[in-house]
Structure 1
């Protein structure tokens, strides 16, 4: 399957869940030249996010759009003209099949995978009129190419210009005792393409969660984080929409 997975929500639930890197699937006809072992790691997939997004959507009664193609085929969380859209190296692993990629194949992947994913999000927004978007990602506890980098946060919240919901989300997680990465382990000011396009461009607030992958290693961990995030999203939504929170200028 290469079409995005779409989950219908309950009527009146004005939230939309997305998961950009939820699959390690490589469509027929695409040869990456990457081992099966490497395809099971963070370079190919945000481990645990498909299950987490599904469970979170169910807990919230929210619709969801979940990617079904590996980020090594094309990265849905990058702009179409971004240098890293189709990576030829990821955390030290050479993506042989992406080296010297012809312009025609780049265009084909954009049209076949990237554009339909974002069109599906556009359609979900048009149909459900969400008041807030929720983006689900996960991150590796340790990068092979940065062995000295410490990543102590079990969860991070990312944002670019619009930090209205992020500030509330960080506070809500901290109040529950979590060490929260504030725009960590990656900055949303650098990597935020999906939320920039679908939330910030529309003036919609959003929560961009990054959960450390060792927290999502089994069904119990995924269920626990779905409960945590559902509670936080519900709290933030209640705070956001019980008063007027002006969008950033």
Structure 2
């Protein structure tokens, strides 16, 4: 499925910017790209493209949902090991020194200036891109629900995870509640609330900053990444997620189909 790249920069891309369905999608961990000046952060080559560096399959699912829902998508083009756009600058995990058993030498002993440089190069452009999309939609009176797309590893510290789809929320649980109320539409899936992560794990930064602070209903969707290992799997999960999202939008009073035409220039 071809995507419409409306804007691209070295650190962030925007798809379907002019789309006017009732959803805006974020994908903070869309890429494992590490810019050359960072020398692969000193990572073991076996870890360079592992789940520690990005969320495998998340970008593809996000792009597919962007098309299905006629939704703008803002995606980071930088590995979360360089800067995790779902973390605030003051968080140690924004530039983690270690992820599970994976050491990240290039993030050891960063100076305040080095951290600040990454914030300005990667985090600020991502946040500015999200803000610009939301401001444009508000100016054209387009109602918005914020959805972030992630994937997670099926094993964590040696323990298998049974959950397949996590529906995560922070203080605003409207969209999560609405999606979970329709989970019977996917009876073959193991779907849980705030699993495998929750607000206590510091994973809801984007929901709070771009959703709650703007008064927007919001939800974070986590997909177990072994389900996204093939193109067929990515297609299937995107379609299944749309089956939860669309009726949830109706429950919240949003028109799920895009309005005709584009916002006035």
Give TM-score, length-normalised by structure 1. Answer: 0.92
Mapped contact 1:9–1:61 kept (Cα < 8 A): no
Aligned counterpart, 2:228: 216
Q: 1:43-97: CA deviations, max 9, x gaps?
A: 0010001111111101111110011000000111111111211001111111011
Residue 148 of structure 2 is aligned to residue 135 of structure 1: yes
2 CA distance for matches of 1:225 and 1:65?
19
Following superposition of structure 1 onto structure 2, how do residues 27-176 of structure 1 map, counting pairs within 5 Å? 27-31=35-39, 32-129=41-138, 130-143=143-156, 146-147=157-158, 149-176=159-186
Give TM-score, length-normalised by structure 2. Answer: 0.86
Aligned counterpart, 1:227: 239
Task: Rate the CA distance shift 1:11–1:70 in 2: closer, same or farther, 3 A.
Answer: closer
Aligned counterpart, 1:247: none
Moved over 6 A (4+): none
Q: CA deviation at 1:233?
A: 1.3
1 CA distance for matches of 2:102 and 2:186?
37
Mapped contact 1:174–1:180 kept (Cα < 8 A): no
2 CA distance for matches of 1:68 and 1:12?
23
Mapped contact 1:17–1:133 kept (Cα < 8 A): yes
Aligned length: 240
Mapped contact 2:22–2:254 kept (Cα < 8 A): no
Task: Rate the CA distance shift 1:238–1:10 in 2: closer, same or farther, 3 A.
Answer: farther
The two structures, once aligned, show a CA RMSD in angstroms of: 1.6
Q: 1:187-232: CA deviations, max 9, x gaps?
A: 0343200111000111211121000000100100000111111221
1 CA distance for matches of 2:115 and 2:19?
38
Aligned counterpart, 2:261: none
Mapped contact 2:186–2:240 kept (Cα < 8 A): no
2 CA distance for matches of 1:155 and 1:11?
26
Q: Which moved more, 1:58-67 or 1:125-134?
A: 125-134
2 CA distance for matches of 1:169 and 1:39?
34
Task: Rate the CA distance shift 1:183–1:83 in 2: closer, same or farther, 3 A.
Answer: same
